[in-house]
Amino acid sequence: MQRVDAEAPDFAQLLRPAAGRWGRLRNGLRRWPIFPVFILAMLLLMGVFAELMAPHSPTKATLSARRAPPMWQEGGSSTYILGADLQGRDILSRIIHGSRVSLTVAGSAIVIGMVFGTGYGLISGYFGGWIDEILMRIVDVFLAFPLIMAALVILVVFGASYVSVIGVLVLFSWVSFARQIRAETLALKELDYVALARVAGASTPRILIRHILPGVTNTVVVVATLHVGSLILTESVLSYLGVGIPPPTPAWGAMVADGRNYLASSWGIAFFPGIAIFVTVVGFNFLGDWIRDFLDPRLRQLE
């Protein structure tokens, strides 16, 4: 019999996660969405407690501070940590208050779109046949429209306001829920427990709400989380083009538009709101990816 070398490397030991403080930290960062949750928690705090966290009023203009640089640059002051814009308004205060605008618009749009799109998908998938065919062709029509171009036309005709911006975002956000939920419903309605409920005499609304809706809840949560970032980005684009939230309400996209002609001399006017948009959208996207992986048992088995 061949003798096993006692000095042979322990491959099982090599495959185990790294031990120690740094190994646990690395595994924790990989397993839990620490950074996205931190970013979104800060965003939520700024949106809720904007008046307490902002050092200045977001609409108060001080002409003597026009285009003031950040405090760490020559000519900067601790009064305006990130500098001031073209009217002498504090950039940091406007970013903090702008987080409330983004959360309000995107949150309202995603909730309304989620409720309508989920119900739409449940009805389309459950009834099938010609009802499903008609409802899905309507979805295809909405998907064929270029979002930004259609939003520009609608907002120019009806005017820019909170209600109109939220309405435009809802108009094009519900279709993602409808398609996903319809596909899930087509599979769930063929399962035995749904057939038993139908044989037992359960009404159609009861079957949809009590038996099928719980089965698509995970999909609804994932789609909602993944689409919040895109709605914030769309609202910022509309504000950048001048048809979003009307001034003087601070909106990140409008702040970027104010500084686009002064990037060489006063780069902070456009840079800091742009960073806020980037970090927020990335945070929501990372959180949505983590929730999708966490709720999918097939993906959890790969860890």
pLDDT of residue 1: 46
Is 279 contained in some domain? yes
Range of the domain at 292: 108-300
Mean pLDDT, rounded, for 135-163 = 84
Q: The pTM is what?
A: 0.81
Query: pLDDT-based confidence at 301, cuts 50/70/90?
Result: very low
300 pLDDT higher than 70: no
Is 268 contained in some domain? yes
Q: Which of 17-31, 93-107, 154-168, 285-299 has the lowest mean pLDDT?
A: 17-31
18 pLDDT higher than 80: no
pLDDT of residue 95: 92
User: Residue 145's domain is classified under what CATH number?
Assistant: 1.10.3720.10
The pLDDT > 70 percentage for the chain reads 87
pLDDT of residue 11: 45
**Mean pLDDT (the chain, rounded):** 82
Is 178 contained in some domain? yes
Is 112 contained in some domain? yes
pLDDT of residue 302: 45
Write the pLDDT tens digit of every residue in 126-144.
898 889 899 999 998 888 8
Residue recorded with tokens 């800060």? 42
pLDDT of residue 20: 62
pLDDT of residue 23: 61
pLDDT of residue 14: 46
pLDDT of residue 239: 87
106 pLDDT higher than 60: yes
Given a contact cutoff of 8 angstroms between Cβ atoms, the answer to whether 29 and 35 are in contact is yes
Name the domain count of the chain: 1
Is 256 contained in some domain? yes
Is 35 contained in some domain? no
Mean pLDDT, rounded, for 186-203 = 85
Write the pLDDT tens digit of every residue in 229-260.
888 888 888 888 888 888 888 888 888 988 88
